[in-house]
Amino acid sequence: MADLTTLPRLLQRNARDLGDRPAIREKDRGIWQSWTWREYQEQVRDFALGLVALGFARGDRLSVIGDNRPRLYWAQVAAQCLGGVPVPVYQDSIAKELAYVWNHAEVSVIVAEDQEQVDKIVALKAELPALRLVIYDDPRGLSGSKQEWLKSYQDVQELGRKFGAEHPGYFETEIDKGKPEDVAIISYTSGTTGNPKGAMLTHANAIGVAEIFCREARVVPDDTSLAYLPMAWAGDSVYTLFASLMVGFCANCPESPETVQRDLRELGPSTILAPPRIWENMLTGLQVRAADATPLKRRTFEYFRSAAERAEILRSEGKAVPAGLRLATALGEFFVYGPVRDQLGLRQAKWALTGGAPLGPDTFRFFRSIGVNLKQVYGSTETSGLVSLQPDAEANPTSAGRPVPGVEIKIAERGEVLVRGRAIFKGYLKNEEATREVIDPDGWFHTGDAGFIDPRGHLVIIDRSKDVGALADGTPFAPQFFENKLKYSPFIREAVAFGHERHFVAAMIAIDLNTVGNWAERRGLTYTSYMDLSQKTEVRELIAEEIRKGNQTLPDSTKIRRFLLLNKDLEADDAEMTRTRKVRRRFVAEKYATVIDTFYSGGNEVDLTTAITYEDGRQAVIQSKVRIEDVEGTPAHV
C-alpha cells in the first residue's frame, strides 16, 4: 500500500490484518510465551506513551542493551513511533566502547535487560551527560531501587496507559508524522580500523531492503525465525525487525545465549540467518561428537559425509551424480543427514543464510551436502545489510550471489566493489567527511571490499581491499582465504595469516579451548589453563598436522610454513576482534609485531607480552615465551 512508508505503519497494518497471528515469542523458564500482532502493537503503544509522559520527544535517541528480548524490540519500535531513533549496542561491550557509542549518539534513554546491564550503565552514568532515563526489563535485584532516573518497563507502560487515556489518538498522530526519509535506526559499524561509526538508516532504507529480501528469499507470514543474533548487528535489524514487520512472520527469542542450540532444535525454524562463526561452531561440535563415538558410528559418519560431499561437488559443477553415489546419499539421508539436521534444529529450514564475513568453502560444502539449503548473502551496515544473495540452484562456496533487484554493483579500477541503490544509508552520524569518503558524487558506496563479477554474474568477494596483497614472488595473497582454511579444523578457533611482500605464508593461531581440551583429556594430558594447554608440545604437533592437511590443497608457493600458538584467544575486549568476530588486522599487526618479525627472521622463540582487558576496563598482562613452529613437508622458508 502507498501509505506503508515507515516501520510503525507496517506495525499498524499487521495489527489490523494479522491481529491474531503470533508476532513474537519468548522462552522463559522453559515455556514459550507468545504475543500476537495486536498484542505487539499494544505493548509498543503503552511503552511509547510512557516515554512521552517521561519527556521523550521527536529526534531523541533510545538505546537497548541485552540479549534478544521482546521488550527490547518493542522499545526500538516505540521510539520509531514517536519519531525517535533506536541505537542498539552489543551486550558484551566493555565500558569504554559503551561510553563512546552512547555519548556519540547522545542517547537520552537506555532500556536494559537486567541488573547486569544496569550495573554497567550506573558505573558510566557520570560520563553520560545526555542520559536522563534508564529502564530495566527484568526486575530481579532492581525492584527496590529508588533513583528517579531508574524505572521498570512495567512502570513506564503503566504511565503510558494513563497518558493514553488522557490523550486519545496521540499515538496514531505521532505515527502519522513519520516520513520515509526519517532515520529509523542508527547501527554502529564493527570498527575494524578504529572507533565505530554510526550509520543512519532511514525508514525508506529499512522498508526497501525488507521488500527486496522477503521477495528474493520467499519469506511468508507462516515462517518462523530464531532471534538470537546481537541486536546491534545490522543483520538482526534487517531480519528480526524490518522483515518481520514487512511480512508478519513470527520471531522467537531463546531463553538465554547458553540455550540457543537447544531452543533451535526445539523450535525448528523455517528460516535461519547465522554468521560464519555459528556454522563453524556447529561443524566443530559435530566433528567432536563423531570423534567421541564408537568406531562403527565414526566410520559410518565419515563414509556418508564423504559421499555427500562428493555428490555436492558434482552437483555444484553441473555434473551428473553416478547411480552408486545417489544410492549412498539416499541411505545417508536416513542414517546420518536427517538425524544431524534434526540435532542442529535445521530439519524444517527451507533455507539458511550465512553472511557478515566469508564462510570457508569446506564448511559451506559440508552443510550443503547434508541437505541444508545454505546460501551466502553479502551486505554491510551501510547497505542496510543486503547487496547480493545466492539463488537456491546457484549456491556455491566461492561467490556471494547475484545482486538483488534494485541494487547496482560495479568494480572500480583497483578491484573495489561499489554499490548503488535504494538501500544505501543516509550517512554517518556527525561525520560528513567520512560519509563523503565512502559515497561519491554519483551515489556509489565504496564498500572497501575487493572483488569481481564472475561469468555467471555472481559477486565474488576476495577480502578487504586494504588486506589484499601479494607474496614477494607476486603470487596474490588474501589472508581470509588461509584463515578460513585453517578454521575448518575443529581444533582452531581463530587464525591470522601473514604474507604480504614476504617469501611465504605464516599464521598466528588461537586454539579452540573446548575441542583441544577434550582431545587432551582423552589422552590423559593434564593442563591448568588456556596458556598451559596451548603451549604443550603435543598440542603444537596436533595443530601442525591440521595445517599439513590444509596445505595439501595449496600450491607450494602458498603453503603455510610457520605458525605460532597464541597464549590466549583473540578477543573483542582486547580490540583484536570486532564484536562481529572480524580481525582488526592493523591493530593485531602492531600488537604482535615481534611475532611477525620472528616469523620471517627465522627465530624459533618469541617473548610475548599480552594485555588482556576485563569487562569493566581493567587490564592485566600475560608474559610468556612462545615457540614458533615450522610445518614439516613444506619447502624451506627464505
Residue-wise pLDDT tens digits, 20-51 = 999 999 999 889 999 999 999 999 999 999 99
Residues of the chain above pLDDT 90, percent: 76
Taking alpha carbons only, the member of 121, 147, 159, 130 closest to residue 61 is 130
At how many degrees (to 10) do helices 323-332 and 295-316 cross? Answer: 130
Confidence check: pLDDT of 637 > 60: no
What is residue 638's predicted lDDT score, i.e. its pLDDT?
Answer: 45
Confidence check: pLDDT of 2 > 60: no
Query: Which CATH class, in words, describes the domain spanning 468-630?
Result: alpha beta
Residue-wise pLDDT tens digits, 535-584 = 999 999 999 999 999 898 888 889 999 999 999 998 888 888 888 778 88
Confidence check: pLDDT of 163 > 60: yes
Taking alpha carbons only, the member of 278, 241, 239 closest to residue 372 is 278
Would the CATH topology of 377-467 be identical to that of 468-630?
no
What is residue 615's predicted lDDT score, i.e. its pLDDT?
Answer: 62
Beta strands, E only, 198-354:
198-202, 224-226, 250-253, 271-274, 351-354
Residue-wise pLDDT tens digits, 249-302 = 999 999 998 999 999 999 999 999 998 889 988 998 898 888 888 999 999 999
What is residue 194's predicted lDDT score, i.e. its pLDDT?
Answer: 65
Range picked from 159-173, 550-564, 572-586, 604-618 for highest mean pLDDT: 159-173
Q: How many CB atoms lie within 10 A of CB 194?
A: 10
Confidence check: pLDDT of 434 > 50: yes
pTM over 0.85: yes
| Residues 603 and 628: beta-carbon distance below 8 Å | yes
Fold of 377-467: Luciferase; domain 3 (2.30.38)
Taking alpha carbons only, the member of 2, 185, 15 closest to residue 83 is 185
Per-residue HEC secondary structure of 86-138 comes to EEECCCCCCHHHHHHHHHHCCCCEEEECCHHHHHHHHHHHHHCCCCCEEEECC
What is residue 193's predicted lDDT score, i.e. its pLDDT?
Answer: 57
For 336-348, give one letter per residue: b (16+ CB within 10 A) or e.
bbeebbeebbbbe
Task: Find the range with the poorest average confidence among 162-166, 377-381, 463-467.
Answer: 463-467
Cα 83 from Cα 447, distance rounded (Å): 29
Task: List the domain boundaries for the chain.
Answer: 7-202, 377-467, 468-630
- The mean pLDDT value of the chain amounts to 92
Task: Find the range with the poorest average confidence among 101-105, 252-256, 357-361, 393-397.
Answer: 357-361
CATH code of the domain made up of 7-202: 3.40.50.12780
Q: What is the mean pLDDT of residues 129-156?
A: 91
Cα 353 from Cα 480, distance rounded (Å): 19
Cα 160 from Cα 563, distance rounded (Å): 60
Residue-wise pLDDT tens digits, 344-392 = 999 999 999 998 877 888 889 999 999 999 999 999 999 999 999 999 9
What is residue 619's predicted lDDT score, i.e. its pLDDT?
Answer: 75
Taking alpha carbons only, the member of 372, 321, 332 closest to residue 351 is 372
Range list of H helices, 507-584: 513-522, 530-534, 537-551
What is residue 617's predicted lDDT score, i.e. its pLDDT?
Answer: 65
SS3 473: coil
Task: Find the range with the poorest average confidence among 142-151, 472-481, 550-559.
Answer: 142-151
616 band by pLDDT with thresholds 50, 70 and 90: low
Q: Kindly give the pairing relationship between strand 351-354 and strand 271-274.
A: parallel
3-state helix, strand, coil in the chain (%, to 5): 40, 25, 35
Range picked from 57-71, 391-405, 586-600 for highest mean pLDDT: 57-71
